[in-house]
Chains A and B, each alone.
Chain A
Amino acid sequence: MLLIPCPWCGPRDEIEFGCGGEAHIARPENPDELSDEAWADYLFNRANPKGPFAERWVHSHGCRRWFNVVRDTATNEILAVYEMGAPRPEIGSPPVLASPDESGTTSDGESL
């Protein structure tokens, strides 16, 4: 059973989470303009690499927040954890585990 570092709640058992499959698949802006093939590619086709793989997880039984994980599918090593919307980090450095934000600041930077 994996130990998944939720970017907010900290490391928790896999049973608290749900896996949402491959990350960084954006919904096309204008679906109507896509060919059947392009739409099917968005809808059905997913990568299945052996090695580092960026995927989405949700802390279903915890804070219910989605986040991204880079997991080595061969060893189950978790190589990075990062927020939705953030770009996939370079892998090769040690795991990037976002620590809970104790200051409570958000993107607008206003401090408490």
Chain B
Amino acid sequence: MRLAGGGRIDRSQLYAFTFNGTQYQGYAGDTLAAALIANGVRLVGRSFKLHRPRGIFSAGAEEPSAIVQVEAGASTLPNLRATQVELYDGLSATSVNAWPSLAFDFWSINSLFAPLLPAGFYYKTFMWPQSLWHSYEAVIRRAAGLGRAPEHPDPDIYDHMHLHCDVLVVGGGPAGLAAALKAGRTGARVVLVDEQNESGGQLLGNRQQIDGAPGAEWATSAAEELAALDDVRVLTRTTAFGHYDHNHVALIERRTDHLGPAVSDADGRDGGPRQRVWKVRAKQVVLATGAHERSIVFRNNDRPGVMQASAAACYVNRYAARPGHRAVIFTNNDSAYAAAADLAEGGVSVAAIVDARPEPGLDASALAAGQGIEVITGHAAVDVKGRRHVEAVSIAAVDEAGNAAASASRSINCDLLAVSGGWNPCVHLHCHSGGKLNFDAVQACFVPGESKLAVRAAGAAAGIFDLAGCLESGFEAGADAAQDAGIKRRGRARKAPVADAETPAPARHLFHVPSSKRGGDYKAFVDLQHDVSASDIALAVREGYESVEHLKRYTTLGMATDQGKTSNVPGLAILSEVLGRPIADVGTTTFRPPYTPVTFGALAGRDVGTFADPVRKTPMHHWHETAGAVFEDVGQWKRPWYYPRDGETMQEAVDRECLAARNAIGLLDASTLGKIDIQGPDSVTLLNRVYTNAWNTLAIGRSRYGLMCGEDGMVFDDGVTTRLGDHHYLMTTTSGGAARVMSWLEEWLQTEWPELDVRLTSVTEQWASAGICGPGARRLMEELSEDIALDAEALPFMAMSEGRVAGLPARVFRISFSGEVSFEVNVPSRYGMALWSILMTAGEKYGITPYGTETLHILRAEKGYIIAGQETDGTVTPIDLGMGRMVSKKKDFIGKRSLSRSDTSREDRKQLVGLLTEDETEVLPEGAQIVSEPRPMPPMEMIGHVTSSYHSANVGRSIALALIRSGHSRIGEQVFAPLPGKRVMARIVEPMFFDPEGTRLHG
């Protein structure tokens, strides 16, 4: 039913497409919905709950019924509105809610039971007994599904872009274009977004004139002027889907969806993303989002062929597609008369205009008279005949209260029922950001009210429905917005475009025509997508759900993917009718983002795969890679975990590394350790306040280990700090805690102790660090050092010296996390790889062995050294760790007062101990719970847990560290670890398994 001429379609480009497996043809410029209408397809989907046949209801974003899945496979998109899907050659779409086929839908059996599936049906029926909910759910999900998510990895690219502007105009209809023009001409940075493929909004779908020419022509020239302005960006195919705090507006731009899935690289794509999310920060926002025409609730108002009057006209005007042969218009206002005239012009036989009012406006009457259309006033549609599409409409007289006469006065044959129940300004974005709504009692709609943001509405979004008014309010909003954005210049004055003045008669507030048939309102739909009927609302109120928020959740009114764009006000009107309270008092629910659904792909953008989280690499990383290291994530760092040689298991590799570190030389990449340069006369005061131990006596060139607590007394980091000069220190932190400690120190300095003269600089990345440990370490170091004395007297344990190592500028620290003689060599990061390579080459003859974090952890566990974050978890004090000697009694420090709280000074806190399993080969799992009694079954009292556990090649058996209640006084006791299928016996020991005298360390 394509018209011979007209429309904004390109008849030179014929596209083939399939819908539910059937081949059709359409033109460039069509939407899927338009092409289906042109092909005479009426039935396009099934409703969500009752699986009633549904057709195309609208021509835009508000579409509740024609929901489709486009394409199949990895690129498929579910739940799209056919009214917004641009046609391309080869497009393939299916209905989302029909099984096994649209024509024979199994679940349509539900509609026979409509009276049995009322509001709250699921809550009442399936929630009891609770244990069966999961089995009910599986069946319900299949019956009530929407589209299907793709099952394969998404082949497309998505990304994000930040954008700043003075004025963001949302909506490219007459008001939005006017606003953007006015603001743009001042030189302001303007962004105009519109969800359609071209600017113009309603002008594209109606025949209104501006300056004596079709409005769409004005729109085109306006868009051209905007495109030529510097600093004006026009984004088409872009939806503003969320309006957030401080004028942060999120847009989704569909860049290639209208081209279909990529077939080759050379099909017009630019290598850019499929969809892009724009994160706009606007000084001023103009909402020119237009309005949605709403329906009227009456029996069988959901049949395919019942359509918004404006949409029916749009299909004729814009797409040259006739949505029917013979139409009846049902309206409560004047706007549908223009639609009726447009239909008639397009060759649709308009049988009658049924107007609920006693009398239409003068302009409206003239339009009807001009086309010779019969106008039946004081009447309303009361029922629709026809199942898969409209065959006839029954009308009856309505009284002043809105009740229809019991018997229909007429039945009019038609295949299109175009309905206008008035207009809802599109206030969604205004609501997202917390803006208030006011009820306009004259026009019976919500209009934007107060907002805390710099936002203003223009045109239909502000409740101004005539074209001249839209243009005027658009220009005004654009000028005001530019001025409020601080733009001083005013654009050159130009002649304002002129549209015909309109003098509409008031609309009648008729939202619902109650059915006189018993149970007739079961089939009078308010929310077409969620199958919420007038009777559901009445029932919910009877059951006590009187608040609009409760009503929404109980009936799911407005909770479908269309968010009730067309059903919101009729629903509230029925609620107000049932409650006997005015709509303004009933209030409305809040619209939330997104305005229309947004794909997860677009939201994730490019932060997927390798970009999901940064990988931090040390200067020696590529050596480790080449050596075949297996890496471990430590924060964002990649650290070598172990270095397996050919055929080695992890345990074999780790055993070899552990033995080498204690018997030859071990080499560790320690670059990830946090390093903070501390300078200033009050540095030592800062150290005294943040560490539990005292720092006054530390000499220059000497290091000391420190524990840091939170103010709650719990250990949160540890490390060694070295005094480099009079007022100069270098603090090291754990690898994972580096940023946290730096922020923590800055926070105390800036917020609590601004009087301290201390400067902190993170130098973690400035230095590459190699740890060389073991009996051969000193020999190797002596070979490579030119000017540093390395003997135990010149450079004892916990001392530091500066000089050259292998010709590189270096700091050498005698600190140890292994219990061996150990040198930690720091060189500027650019030399990290050089240092490492030289050490490996020179150390070869001594059996130097690189080791990873697993060996590091085992070596330190053999010595009972803690790892902050492994032995501690935010509930462990220094005393719990057996490190009470490191807690100063004299000075105050962060967390000190908390250590004497009744809870932290308890004797029976969990305390750090060692565990030796009875079976030496048994390695307890970390995290295993410990109990004191060998009971076979729960309940049993848990007295602690394993924090670290390994097989130690050096000790020749398994070792473990654990936090055990009153552990310090339980040394020697036997405990048990109940594990799946077995119970492991262990003995509590001191947390020290190797070289308890420390002779190796100080050697």
Contact = CB atoms under 8 A, between A and B. Distances in A.
B324 to A, nearest CB: 47
A1 B897 contact: no
Contacts of B743: 18, 58, 60
B248 A1 contact: yes
A13 interface: yes
Interface in B732-747: 743, 746-747
A24 to B, nearest CB: 10
A20 B751 contact: yes
A57 to B, nearest CB: 11
A2 B245 contact: yes
A26 B751 CA distance: 9
A50 B197 CA distance: 44
B747 A66 contact: yes
Contacts of B728: none
Interface string A50-92: 0000001010100011100000000111100000110000000
B750 A1 contact: no
Given A60-B743, A84-B751, A1 B901 contact: no
B892 A31 contact: yes
A66 to B, nearest CB: 4
Contacts of A36: 901-902
Interface string B685-728: 00000000000000000000000000110000000000000000
B281 A3 contact: yes
A40 B901 CA distance: 9
B754 A31 contact: no
A10 to B, nearest CB: 12
Nearest to A38: B897
Nearest to A56: B751
B434 to A, nearest CB: 6
Nearest to B434: A75
Question: In the complex, which of the residues B281, B434, B897 has the most CB atoms of chain A within 10 Å of its own CB atom?
Answer: B897
B11 interface: no
A56 B751 CA distance: 9
Contacts of B897: 31-32, 34, 39
A58 B747 contact: yes
Interface in A23-46: 26-27, 31-32, 34, 36, 39-40, 43
B896 interface: yes
A2 B452 CA distance: 13
Nearest to A34: B897
A77 B246 CA distance: 8
B747 A3 contact: no
Contacts of A13: 281
A65 B97 CA distance: 55
B898 interface: yes
Contacts of B613: none
Interface string B653-674: 0000000000000000000000
Question: In the complex, which of the residues B246, B712, B900 has the most CB atoms of chain A within 10 Å of its own CB atom?
Answer: B246
Interface in B237-273: 244-248
A77 B244 CA distance: 12
Contact of A20 (B248, B279, B711, B747): B747
Interface residues of B, number: 25
B606 to A, nearest CB: 16
A65 B747 CA distance: 9
B585 interface: no
Contacts of A31: 892, 896-897
Given A43-B711, A58-B743, A64-B746, A1 B246 contact: yes
B752 interface: yes
B751 A1 contact: no
A85 B754 contact: yes
Contacts of A84: 750-751, 754
A56 B248 CA distance: 22
Interface string B279-290: 101000000000
B901 A39 contact: yes
Interface in B439-464: 452
Given A18-B743, A36-B901, A75-B452, A1 B245 contact: yes
A90 to B, nearest CB: 20
B246 A3 contact: yes
A76 B896 contact: no
A64 B751 CA distance: 12
B674 to A, nearest CB: 16
Nearest to B245: A76
Given A39-B898, A43-B712, A66 B246 contact: no
Contacts of A60: 743
A13 B901 CA distance: 40
A43 B901 CA distance: 12
Contacts of A65: 750
A101 B743 CA distance: 24
Contacts of A85: 754
Nearest to A66: B750
A74 B897 CA distance: 36
B898 A66 contact: no
Question: In the complex, which of the residues B746, B750, B751, B901 has the most CB atoms of chain A within 10 Å of its own CB atom?
Answer: B751
Contacts of B452: 75-77
Nearest to A85: B754
Contacts of A77: 452
Interface in B408-454: 434, 452
Given A39-B901, A43-B711, A2 B752 contact: no
A61 B241 CA distance: 28
A40 B244 CA distance: 37
Contacts of A56: 751
Given A13-B281, A75-B434, A75-B452, A66 B902 contact: no
B903 to A, nearest CB: 9
Interface string B897-932: 110111000000000000000000000000000000
Nearest to B746: A64
A30 to B, nearest CB: 8
Given A20-B747, A66-B751, A2 B898 contact: no
A20 B746 CA distance: 12
A32 B901 CA distance: 10
A84 B279 CA distance: 31
A56 B902 CA distance: 30
Question: In the complex, which of the residues A31, A36, A60, A77 has the most CB atoms of chain B within 10 Å of its own CB atom?
Answer: A31
B428 to A, nearest CB: 19
A31 B246 CA distance: 41
Contacts of B244: 1
Interface string A79-112: 0000011000000000000000000000000000
A43 B747 CA distance: 16
Nearest to A1: B248
A27 B747 contact: no
A63 B353 CA distance: 68
Given A76-B452, A85-B754, 12 more contacts: A2-B245, A3-B246, A3-B247, A3-B281, A20-B747, A26-B752, A36-B902, A43-B712, A66-B750, A66-B751, A75-B434, A84-B750
Interface of A: 1-3, 13, 18, 20, 26-27, 31-32, 34, 36, 39-40, 43, 56, 58, 60, 64-66, 75-78, 84-85
13 contacts: A1-B244, A2-B245, A3-B246, A20-B747, A32-B896, A32-B897, A39-B901, A43-B711, A43-B898, A56-B751, A58-B743, A58-B747, A60-B743
- Which are the 6 A-B pairs with shortest beta-carbon distances? A31-B897, A3-B246, A66-B750, A76-B245, A1-B248, A75-B452
